[in-house]
Amino acid sequence: MMEINIHEWKDKSAYILPGIPESMLEPEFAALLHIVAFIELSGDSAIDPVASAEALENVCVYLSRIKMERLRQIQKQLELISVYGQKMGWSGDAIEFVEGFLENCGVFDEKT
C-alpha cells in the first residue's frame, strides 16, 4: 500500500489548527473545530470563499441546536484550549478563533 504524505501537496495558504490534547475536548468536537478552522482561516486559493461561507452557516445552524448548558461546558473547554495554545505558541489567529468560536457562530454570548 502506498503511503501518502499530505504535507507534500498542501496549499501554502491552507490553515491547519495545531493538535489539541485528547483530554481537553471530545474527539467529535475537536474534529469539528479543526475543519472549521481550516475553512475559516485558509486563504481563498485553498478553499472557495462562497462555498466555505455556506458550509460555515450550516455548521452554525447545527451548533444552535445544542442546549445552553452544554454550550457553557464547551466554552469552558475552548477557554482552556486557548490558554494551552498560548503556552504552546499558537498564532494569534488560532487563539482568537478558538476563543470566539461559539460566539462567532452566534450560539453563545459571554453574558448568557
Cα within 13 Å of Cα(91), Cβ side: 9
pLDDT digit string, tens, across residues 28-54: 999 999 999 999 999 888 888 899 999
Three-state DSSP state, 21: coil
Spatial separation of the C-alpha atoms in residues 55 and 39, rounded to whole Å: 8
Distance CA 77, CA 111 (A): 17
Domain residue spans of the chain: 25-40+49-104
Task: Give the global pTM.
Answer: 0.80
> Where does the pLDDT of residue 4 fall: very low under 50, low under 70, confident under 90, or very high at 90 and above?
very low
Rounded distance, CA 12 to CA 24, Å? 28
In this predicted structure, what is the pLDDT of residue 2? 46
Task: Compute the mean pLDDT over every residue in the chain, rounded to the nearest whole number.
Answer: 87
